[in-house]
Amino acid sequence: MDPMEAIKQTYFQECDELLLAMEEGLIAIEAGEADGETINAVFRAVHSIKGGGGAFGFEALVAFAHIFETVLDHLRSGKLSPSGAVIKVLLRAGDVLSDHVGAARDRRALGDEHDADIKAELAALSGEEAGSDEAAPADFEGLDFTPTCIVVDEPAAQSGWKIVFRPHAALYAKANEPYLLVRELAQLGPTAVEADLTALPALDAIEPDQAYFSWTVTLTSDVAREKVEEVFDFVVGDCDLTIEPLSPAPVAVPVTAAEEFPSIAAGPVQPQEKKDAPAAHDAAKQTIRVDLDKVDRLVNLVGELVITQAMLSQRVLECRIPRASSIGDGLSELEHLLRELQESVMAIRTQPVKSVFQRMPRLVRELAAQTNKKVRLVVEGEATEVDKTVIERLGEPLTHMIRNAVDHGLETPEERAAAGKPEEGTVTLSAEHRGGRIVIEVSDDGRGIDRPRVREKAVERGLVSPAAQLSDDEVDNLIFMPGFSTASQVSNISGRGVGMDVVRRNIVDLGGRISIGSDPKQGSKFSLTLPLTLAVLDGMVVAVGDQTFVLPLAHIVESLKPRKQDVRAFGREGNLLNVRGAYVPLVDTAELLGARRAANQDGGVVILVESQGTGRLALMVDAILGQHQVVIKSFEGNYRHIDGIAAATILGDGRVALILDVDGLVASCRNRLATAETLATGT
Amino acid sequence: MGKIILTVDDSKTMRDMLKLALSADGHIVIQADDGVNGVEALRHAGDVDVIITDINMPRMDGFGFIDQVRRDPGRRATPILVLTTETEPAKKQRARDAGATGWIVKPFDPAKLLAAVRRVSP
Amino acid sequence: MDDKAILGADARRQFITFHSGEQEFGADIMVIREIRGWTPTTPLPHSPDYVLGVINLRGVVLPVVDLNARLGRARTEANPKHVIVVVRTGERTIGLLVDAVSDILTVRAADIQPTPELARDEQSEFIEGIAVLDSRMVTILSMERLTASLVATQTALAA
């Protein structure tokens, strides 16, 4: 990659982090939880976004960030107080800045109308005219402005300059070096240098910190005065300097610090508090940024190691070496250490859910504005950690659930007032670890699910029969049925053509489940449970014919030995299994997956699996071989997707075993059964 | 001759850009992401020919950093360039007061950056 | 290979040649990762019969294709004397089951002839050309097309 392109990628990545830090800071200020450093951090975030943006020529972004930054600077200096109204404007400005970053990333232009209003509001806060973008450093030359230098009536062609330069001690104190300046002058043209040593005292009186020399440089070149002045740019104020034209000259213009820094002459510099004792207090955790590929390689290697260890253990067992031997002890110690190693490596990939949760306040603000509702978002447990792969795929379902809560769950302020509730509705987003999984809940204190309406709709759409006896819970869960919400009835906000069935599908794809609970008039609560990682899976290893498969433990309800009288033929070739009064489709896994059938037909085991949303299935297998944590290996990079197969893993003996996709299997079997039913009952 | 240059900036973008521009001219670049780590880097670095530092940084800002550097007698003669934006003339002056040798205006032009380095270092 | 276009007639390419069925094939040496002995595969359900299944190649789950069957001819009854040629093109890695690896061949680009129009059959879509050397005739296979066809089958099935 072009190095600039790579840096640009870094920049956008950094922008994402900075934008989050900025929002977090603003929210903390709003909540009154901020300290002095908070506003500094917010300022720095915007400043850094602006700085990088300038380097890439994102002019609109830079112009906007500049206005934004000016207001933050006022806030920082105390000129502006952080009232609720001010913070609201700043939060919106943050959103717009984020839009600017997004536009720059997508290489598209953001229309002026997009930020005109907020620019005006910001300008009002900073007491500046809107549209004074000229102040923004949008030029990329980095031209230093030197207001005194524009001497219009100067002769065009000079034969040269006489430069008299007497450094002060301060010049040396700042590590400037007259010799380098003279050398740089020589770059401009032929020079004659005269050193004036008259100020040099007797040797024993020399103080090393003092400056005793001065130089007169005659530069024979027609370079512009600015070029000469530029050489002394860093030392102006720390020396006496006169630059005179060699030829009959106009007036020499002494350049002084006051002229160089007009703002200083205009008013005293705002003394900024120096942060003392900077290091020790900030026990900020040391972090390093690591390429995810490197971590993944490590995860893979440890996975291999675990497999190799399992293989080794198996070989040792085959050699009939007793467990209670030094080799056995060594092996179990190895296994123990490897498990610990694996957990530590997995922990590297984990991140707090904060990174997704932090996107939600903006969403809620926008939704509140669009729906004219008053919404407070309460976020809990954002430090809860989960694998990065899970985090990455959490954003979309969460967004949907929050949209749903604000749009469908919460009532309008008027309705709420009428119902005796506070006008402001509350949406709570929380995360916690529970039993080796992460549980994320989105709840609202709105109107709850309108069960009669949901039922009516489901009947309308042919999802349930009008006569069906459904518990409250079952009614609530109808909203996850494919086809429940359709484009015609979803609102602009929740909809976008995607229903809760897609949310459920996303969650199920992650190996998770979703459920909803609701109290009429009190609100609803969506609960997601997800595995902590997508890299390993707790599985049940089963034998089917001459093959071995892995079933995800999360989907297994129970295993049982079926009795003959519990199996009932159904349709042409289907079977149903009676599990304590409920009939579940029974399938021969060998047949389903084209495995060679085992010699003895009887003595199989049935594993009852459940797919959320599509129901249960009884899978006939030959034997259960054990439960293991297996490393998930996708083969879809090298091959196509196979229906009913989720991924592969490598077993202790080094062979590949396929991991079954329970949801896919249940869906396809139920479809087949439905076809069989039509065939059996139809015509 | 390539020089050893310490760059201190909390923005990785800026650090990367500095490194790109400086290493194109044969300089060796050491990086730190704030003043505290800049001081730490100097403690381990041995000879550093030029220091380039940002001003707005967490934990220890550029002024604090320059102050710390200048307290070390061995670093008094090390040129320090601050990164500043056009709109901050006051910052330049404060940086000079703190002991900065010169400045580089952000967003920087690589040629000017290299010229500034040449101006302060033999 | 991309750089083919800029190679003159004198440019040389290297091929690994192997036998499958009665024929000798060649594959560009750049795409061959390794050659290993046959190990039993784990069958993949709902897959064409030329896909023998997957094996564990140091932690990578590698699909193995019976080359002879893929080219529309008889299936190979695999045994430990057979060889798996591991091929990597782009991001995809697959194994090809062949009878035996024979040779490394250096061929002038000019000596590779296009497939005769008349001889179109199931294998021609994977043939890049024919290298004729003295008495030998080596069919040069396009590994890119072969690996791509494995993934593309999905859409073919779905359609």
pLDDT at A129 over 50: no
Question: What residues of chain A lie within 8 A of the CB of C54, using their CB?
Answer: 635, 639, 648, 656
Partner A, chain B 8-67, Cβ-Cβ below 8 Å: 10-14, 16-17, 20, 35-36, 39, 56-61, 63-64, 67
Among A132-141, A177-186, B29-38, the range of highest mean pLDDT: B29-38
Residues 6 or more apart in contact with residue A682 via CB below 8 angstroms:
none
SS3 sequence, A496-532? CCCCHHHHHHHHHHCCCEEEEEEECCCEEEEEEEEEC
Distance between CA atoms of residues A447 and A522, nearest Å: 6
Q: Tell me which of A140-154, A241-255, C126-140 is least confident.
A: A140-154
A346-366 residue pLDDT tens: 788 788 898 889 889 888 988
Nearest to C46 among A307, A635, A643 (CB): A643
Q: Are A423 and A374 in contact (CB under 8 A)?
A: yes
Question: What residues of chain A lie within 8 A of the CB of B56, using their CB?
Answer: 40, 43-44, 47-48
Residues 6 or more apart in contact with residue A112 via CB below 8 angstroms:
none
Residues 6 or more apart in contact with residue C130 via CB below 8 angstroms:
C112, C113, C114, C115, C116, C137, C138, C139, C140
Distance between CA atoms of residues B5 and B18, nearest Å: 10
Residue in A closest to B61 by C-alpha: A275
Each residue's pLDDT, cut to its tens digit, for chain B (122 residues) gives: 678 889 999 888 888 888 888 887 878 888 888 888 888 888 877 778 899 999 888 888 888 899 888 888 888 888 999 988 766 677 777 878 888 888 888 878 888 888 888 888 87
Confidence of residue A517 (pLDDT cuts 50, 70, 90): confident
Mean pLDDT of C12-21: 86
Question: What residues of chain A lie within 8 A of the CB of B87, using their CB?
Answer: 66, 135-137
Confidence of residue C118 (pLDDT cuts 50, 70, 90): low
pLDDT at A552 over 70: yes
Does A77 contact chain B (CB < 8 Å)?
no
Does A14 contact chain B (CB < 8 Å)?
yes
Question: What residues of chain A lie within 8 A of the CB of C152, using their CB?
Answer: 640
Residue in A closest to C65 by C-alpha: A639
Distance between CA atoms of residues A474 and A528, nearest Å: 17
Q: Which of B11, B20, B40, B94 to mutate to test the interface with A (most CBs of A within 10 A)?
A: B11
Distance between CA atoms of residues C46 and C67, nearest Å: 19
Does B1 contact chain A (CB < 8 Å)?
no
For A80, phi then psi, to 5°, come to -125, 135
Q: Are A580 and A563 in contact (CB under 8 A)?
A: no
Distance between CA atoms of residues A10 and A16, nearest Å: 10
Distance between CA atoms of residues A422 and A412, nearest Å: 11
A436-481 residue pLDDT tens: 678 899 999 998 888 888 888 888 888 788 887 888 888 888 888 7
Confidence of residue A120 (pLDDT cuts 50, 70, 90): confident
Number of neighbouring beta carbons within 10 Å of residue A36: 10
Q: Select from A454, A620, A625, A435 the least CA-distant residue to A532.
A: A435
Q: The whole model's pTM is what?
A: 0.48
pLDDT at A596 over 90: no
Nearest to B109 among A40, A141, A274 (CB): A141
Judge: A594–C45 Cβ closer than 8 Å, yes or no.
yes
Helical (H) or strand (E) element with A672: helix A662-681
Question: What residues of chain C lie within 8 A of the CB of A595, using their CB?
Answer: 43, 45
ipTM of the complex: 0.86
Residue A427 in tokens:
């949406």
Confidence of residue A209 (pLDDT cuts 50, 70, 90): low
Partner B, chain A 182-241, Cβ-Cβ below 8 Å: 184, 231, 233-234, 237-238
Q: Provide the Cα torsion A242, A248, A250, A251; round to 10°.
A: 40
C-alpha pair distances (Å), A198 with each of A204, C117, C131: 16, 97, 89
Q: Provide the Cα torsion A577, A583, A585, A589; round to 10°.
A: -30
Number of neighbouring beta carbons within 10 Å of residue A548: 20
End-to-end, the C-alpha distance of chain A in Å comes to: 65
Distance of CA A572 to the CA centre of its chain: 52
Number of neighbouring beta carbons within 10 Å of residue B117: 22
Judge: A175–B57 Cβ closer than 8 Å, yes or no.
no
Distance of CA C6 to the CA centre of its chain: 24
Does C37 contact chain A (CB < 8 Å)?
no
Torsional class of A637: left (φ above 0), alpha (ψ -120 to 50), beta (otherwise): alpha
Q: What rounded mean pLDDT belongs to chain A?
A: 78
Judge: B106–A269 Cβ closer than 8 Å, yes or no.
no
Distance between CA atoms of residues B105 and A340, nearest Å: 50
Q: Are A561 and A669 in contact (CB under 8 A)?
A: no
Among A174-188, A438-452, A605-619, the range of highest mean pLDDT: A438-452
Judge: B102–A234 Cβ closer than 8 Å, yes or no.
yes
Number of neighbouring beta carbons within 10 Å of residue A113: 7
Judge: A638–C153 Cβ closer than 8 Å, yes or no.
no
Judge: B64–A4 Cβ closer than 8 Å, yes or no.
no
- The DSSP output letter for C109 is G
Distance between CA atoms of residues B67 and A574, nearest Å: 83
